[in-house]
Structure 1
Amino acid sequence: MQTVFHVSSPESDVRRHAMVNVTNLLEDDTTAAPDDDVAIVANGAGVRMFVASTAANGELVASLVERGVECFACGASLAKMNAITADLLPGVERVQSGVGALARLQDEGYGYVKAP
């Protein structure tokens, strides 16, 4: 099973909850989802979860990256907050467009989950 989580919330609690949901999916024996088949795409204010200076839960991001979760930050959203690729947490990839990454992953068969 391939799953992509979409995070765009300005609220750090919502972003953390999304990462907890990813962890729950990885630990759910009934889904048989290998770690490398789970991704998080952040756009809008959601990119704050991946920018080192604004990441309230950097250790949780690091643990997900370590487990093979692919993390993508929208380049357009980063530019709006004057952040650059070097500002991202280790293991997070900058993509040109978060929406484009979501479309590509869904085209590749990923199921879509919108973070609350």
Structure 2
Amino acid sequence: MGDFFKIFRAALIGCLVILAVPASQSAAGLSNKQVKVVYHLSEGIDQAASALHKIRNHLDVDPNAKITVVAVDYGVDFLLEGAKDKNNNPFDATVQTLVSRGVDFRVCNNTLIGRNIDRHKVIPEAKIIPAGMPEIARLEAEGYGYIKP
């Protein structure tokens, strides 16, 4: 009976090893996948300042992350010429730095029209898109995670 348990134990350990290998390979495969996220900004300067800080931190931890910022409503304000945070720091330098790290900034044209903002006041680093919410939905359909800071 002692031999039976030794053989059973060896077989059980073998099965566990076989089952563990695909699981570890699967987990390793997920860690190699590029993370794609869309940050949705709609609430103005304070939210934008906080979001830009979070995006910098995000890229510090995962420099290969693909980050797209979609700005609608009052979320477009930080992407306008001369925009400054509550400490009077201009946003454009931070945006330029993040663009150099691969972040994509998009501004809702419907918002510009609805708020009567001249499209030429949008800083050059930001791309004007037809509508923000459909853009967010499209990105999510492409596998982007959604973050509203």
TM-score by length of 2: 0.68
Structure 1 stretches of 4+ with a deviation exceeding 3 A read 53-56
**Counterpart-to-counterpart distance in 2, 1:43 and 1:77:** 6
* Residues 101 and 109 of structure 1: CA distance in aligned 2, closer, same or farther (over 3 Å): same
Gaps of 5+ in 1: none
The structure 2 residue matched to 1:34, chosen from 35, 60, 64, is 64
Paired residue for 2:56? 23
Deviation at 1:55, TM superposition (A): 4.9
**Counterpart-to-counterpart distance in 1, 2:123 and 2:100:** 12
Q: Does 1:47 align with 2:76?
A: yes
- What pairs with 1:87-98 in structure 2 (closer than 5 Å)? 87-98=121-132
SS of aligned partner of 2:83:
coil
Indicate if the aligned counterparts of 1:39 and 1:69 stay in contact, CA closer than 8 A: yes
Paired residue for 1:106? 140
* Residues 98 and 55 of structure 1: CA distance in aligned 2, closer, same or farther (over 3 Å): farther
Higher helix share: 2
Q: Does 1:9 align with 2:7?
A: no
Q: Which one has a bigger Cα radius of gyration? A: 2
TM-score by length of 1: 0.86
Indicate if the aligned counterparts of 1:43 and 1:98 stay in contact, CA closer than 8 A: yes
Amino acid at match of 1:25: H
Indicate if the aligned counterparts of 1:70 and 1:92 stay in contact, CA closer than 8 A: yes
Indicate if the aligned counterparts of 1:62 and 1:90 stay in contact, CA closer than 8 A: no
Indicate if the aligned counterparts of 1:48 and 1:55 stay in contact, CA closer than 8 A: no
Q: Does 1:63 align with 2:97?
A: yes
The aligned length equals 110
Indicate the RMSD between aligned Cα atoms, in angstroms. Answer: 1.5
Q: Greater relative contact order (Cα 8 A, min sep 6): structure 1 or 2?
A: 1
SS of aligned partner of 2:146:
strand
Paired residue for 1:83? 117
Indicate if the aligned counterparts of 1:50 and 1:88 stay in contact, CA closer than 8 A: yes
**Counterpart-to-counterpart distance in 1, 2:84 and 2:104:** 17
